[in-house]
Chains A and B, each alone.
Chain A
Amino acid sequence: MATVRDIYSVKLGRDGDWWTALAVGPRLEPTGHAASETRSIAALEEDVRNTIAVLTDRDLDMPHEKSINDFDIQWDYSGLPESTASALADYFAVKAERNELENRYAASVRRAAVELTGVTHASYRDAAHVLGLSHQRVSQVLQGK
């Protein structure tokens, strides 16, 4: 049975030259949250993970590396200026749609190539012509690449 991992929502913010993070989630009593700050966004996730691991005593129960990866983080950009938060929300929504479309595209190309070459016995070159792909690509698709 899969283990349910704790999820922490982490709100990103700005404080002068510093990036701030406020994590909210399970086992962060008594405040219910944990605050972090770093000079770069890139360094912030490790800082947040360390803070959560210590404040929830995970580091006492398991090796350090495991303790900081024992939970999931969901970034919340609503603490940034409204125009930035809105742009990021749009970006992540479109990115998710693109990923979904890429998955559907890969499945549909394979299905069409299999049908053309397997059911109608079209050559790779003819299948490529129909699909608008190179015959090498059709070959790759059929090999599951």
Chain B
Amino acid sequence: MVRGRLTGNQCVKALRRAVRDKNRAEGTSYRVVPRAFLGHGSYEFWSVVDEANHDKEIAKGKTTSHMGEGVIKDFEQRFEILFGKGWLR
């Protein structure tokens, strides 16, 4: 997929897919949840939590309606701790 052309939905779908693959491969019990947030804006926050550890948050990132280069890069890098470099591409 071409960088800078991903929508927010595509990024979240990719995140869910990466989590599913990791759970299958490594036996982890992670899942993607929307991060509750009281503010308002054209963006959403997403967390990966560990069900085996009382839904402890492992990492989180943000999607927007525009998903410009900077936001995509930040989203990708924030989950590299789980999936390694370049997981979103």
**A residues in contact (CB < 8 Å) with B:** 13, 15-16, 18, 20, 22, 30-31, 33-38, 43, 46-47, 50-51, 53-55, 59, 64, 68
Chain B interface, number of residues (Cβ within 8 angstroms): 23
A35 to B74 alpha-carbon distance, docked (Å) = 6
Chain B residues lying within 8 Å of A55, measured Cβ to Cβ, are 45, 60, 62
A68 to B39 alpha-carbon distance, docked (Å) = 9
Chain A proximity of B5: nearest CB distance (Å): 13
**Binary flags per residue of B60-84, CB closer than 8 Å to A gives 1, else 0:** 1010101011110110011011000
Chain B proximity of A64: nearest CB distance (Å): 4
Chain A residues lying within 8 Å of B41, measured Cβ to Cβ, are 38, 43, 46-47, 50
Chain B residues lying within 8 Å of A35, measured Cβ to Cβ, are 62, 68, 70-71, 73-74
Assess whether A47 is in contact with B69, with CB atoms less than 8 Å apart: no
Assess whether A59 is in contact with B37, with CB atoms less than 8 Å apart: yes
Instruction: State the total of A-B contacts with C-beta under 8 angstroms.
Output: 66
Chain A proximity of B26: nearest CB distance (Å): 19
Assess whether A22 is in contact with B39, with CB atoms less than 8 Å apart: no
Assess whether B74 is in contact with A33, with CB atoms less than 8 Å apart: yes
Q: Do A36 and B38 contact each other (CB < 8 Å), given the known contacts A18-B66, A30-B80, A30-B81?
A: no
